[in-house]
Structure 1
Amino acid sequence: MVRSTHAFATLLALAVPATSFAAAPPQSFKGEYTVSYLGLSIARATFSSRYEGDTYAINGTVSAAGLGRLFDDTKGTISSKGTISDKRMTPQVFRADYTSGKKASMVDIRFSNGAVTSTQVIPAPKKRDPKNWVPIGDGDLKSVLDPMAATVIHADSLDKVCGRTVKFYDGEMRADLTLTYASKGSISVPGYKGDTVTCKMGFEPVAGYRKGRKALNFLKNKSRMLVTFAPVGQSGVYAPIRATVGTQIGPLTISAGRFEAVN
């Protein structure tokens, strides 16, 4: 998350409508999202996901839009593949390819049994100053989720969606995302009309980051982050349909313009 394009891709990936249907017929879903700042659109993303047996595959496109193109003309693709067992997503491969202007970037993460086995980032990160860099330790990359799989919540009801911690890894940073109950509500967007639950999200960097970085300190100590989840079909799985993230420059809003099964 040290480069703006890396942070952009990670932010959009956090809004992926991923679901799982182990031992069920193949099912596909589609989500369309807009990221806005002060009411002005700055980015768009479209994701499609398919679930067959105990496997899942998610593919998406992201791009700067509107005002965002004036500052960072980012566009690219994101994909995630893995398996589903015991109501848990177990990623195998995550990849993000994107460009910002003429600069191309890539993040490729491979997993085995829930643990990261390799990470490739292009361009390669610059040399870190050991005095202020928190390195990733041997145990930090076990039982972690990539930015797409991290959005999935398996729960028996809306009441049980919040109240959990997600171990998140984006190819450089390991962080814990904590979800605590905030409120219930309802929403209507193309493809879905019904009840929702909103969780307050806390951010705790664990490793793979520079000490004293103002943006991270703000997210950890001052940012107000809310994520609203909606059920996808009758699967018992809940996915983000709206989110607000407080930043140093003002609140960002991620909202679904479409949230539907496409079988």
Structure 2
Amino acid sequence: MLRSSHALLASLAVALPTAASAATLQSFKGEYTVSVHGFSVAKASFSSSYEGDTYSIEGSVSSAGLATIFDDTRGTVSSKGKISGKQLQPQAFRADYKSGEKASMIDIQFANGAVTATKVVPAPKKRNPKNWIPLGASHLASVLDPMAATVIHADSLDKVCGRTVKLYDGEMRANLTLTYDSKGSTSVRGYKGDTVTCRLGFEPVAGYRKNRKSLDYLRKRSRIMVTFAPVGQTGVYAPIHATVGTKIGTLTVSAERFEATE
């Protein structure tokens, strides 16, 4: 259950407008639908506020549609931190979720861009050292939590792609590599304008089991595309649409609302 819940977080992570380098308070609202084969399987809603060099995000996620029959998952997520230049520096991340009657939690604490503590409930099962790639201290430096990992500070749409992001989800460290694909435009509630689409490469680094089929599929065969749009005039670019190829079909994350509220 832990890994499937992490997968839900990773899927929804592409849908999180976050920190803005702003001298005054700014707030944003994002609402998203996750679907497979045209059927809604999850909903997400996030409220973000940014002031000076700090950011704070609160959100909720839940299964939807037919997915509730098989895995009724609901939860809340939060992230806060600072902005240093063009880089986000998380201070704390927490996810509390419940699948059926089973409650789970992930809590990650950071300092100076590095992970200082991680608590996962229920605790992960004992790992077989023969096929487990362990985490080391070097793996937990300059990393981003699932909410901050896919939000980009850039000077323009042209500068969004062409970078590698270090993700830590409370168990696994992975690299997300963004390469340019195309430009376009879109219109949703709160935003109408230009976008840029990047292809996202997924590479597990540590904190995972070797030869895990789902990870091998994401790394070698999955086509992951993420479309970014500007968050107001902040210099921040957040995903407004994404598709992830999976064994059961293409998972699509679409914004229904993407707008400044203050």
TM-score range, shorter chain: over 0.9
Asked whether the 8 Å contact 1:62–1:75 carries over to 2, the reply is: yes
Deviation per residue, 1:60-119 (Å, 9 max, x gap): 000000011111100000000101111211000000000000000000000000000000
Aligned-residue identity in percent: 71
Alignment correspondent of 1:126: 125
Deviation at 1:122, TM superposition (A): 0.2
- Give the match's secondary structure for 2:146: coil
Deviation at 1:44, TM superposition (A): 0.1
- Give the match's secondary structure for 2:139: coil
Alignment correspondent of 1:81: 80
Which runs of structure 2 are paired with 1:181-196 in the superposition (5 Å)? 181-196=180-195
Q: What is the identity, as a one-letter code, of the residue corresponding to 2:55?
A: Y
Asked whether the 8 Å contact 2:19–2:56 carries over to 1, the reply is: no
Asked whether the 8 Å contact 2:19–2:54 carries over to 1, the reply is: no
Alignment correspondent of 1:3: 3
Gaps of 5+ in 1: none
Asked whether the 8 Å contact 1:19–1:238 carries over to 2, the reply is: no
* Bigger Cα displacement from structure 2, 220-229 vs 65-74: 65-74
Deviation per residue, 1:12-70 (Å, 9 max, x gap): 13311113124x11000000000000000000000000001111100000000001111
Structure 1 Cα separation of the partners of residues 202 and 9 of structure 2: 17
Residue-pair matches, total = 262
Structure 2 Cα separation of the partners of residues 53 and 19 of structure 1: 10
Q: What is the identity, as a one-letter code, of the residue corresponding to 1:13?
A: A
Gaps of 5+ in 2: none
- Give the match's secondary structure for 1:140: helix
Alignment correspondent of 2:21: 21
Deviation per residue, 1:172-223 (Å, 9 max, x gap): 0000000000011000000000000000000000000000000000000000
- Distance change in 2, residues 1:59/1:146 (3 Å): same
* Bigger Cα displacement from structure 2, 2-11 vs 116-125: 2-11
Deviation at 1:2, TM superposition (A): 4.9
Does residue 150 of structure 1 match 2:115?
A: no
* Bigger Cα displacement from structure 2, 126-135 vs 146-155: 146-155
Q: What is the identity, as a one-letter code, of the residue corresponding to 2:210?
A: K
- Give the match's secondary structure for 2:149: helix
Alignment correspondent of 2:231: 232
* Bigger Cα displacement from structure 2, 10-19 vs 242-251: 10-19
Asked whether the 8 Å contact 2:21–2:235 carries over to 1, the reply is: no
- Give the match's secondary structure for 1:149: coil
Structure 1 Cα separation of the partners of residues 6 and 215 of structure 2: 14
The list of structure 1 runs, each at least 4 consecutive aligned residues, that deviate by more than 2 angstroms after superposition, is none
Q: What is the identity, as a one-letter code, of the residue corresponding to 2:97?
A: Y
With the length of structure 2 as denominator, give the TM-score of the two structures. 0.98
- Give the match's secondary structure for 1:10: helix
Asked whether the 8 Å contact 1:153–1:161 carries over to 2, the reply is: yes
Deviation per residue, 1:146-177 (Å, 9 max, x gap): 01111221111111110000000000000000
Structure 1 Cα separation of the partners of residues 9 and 18 of structure 2: 16
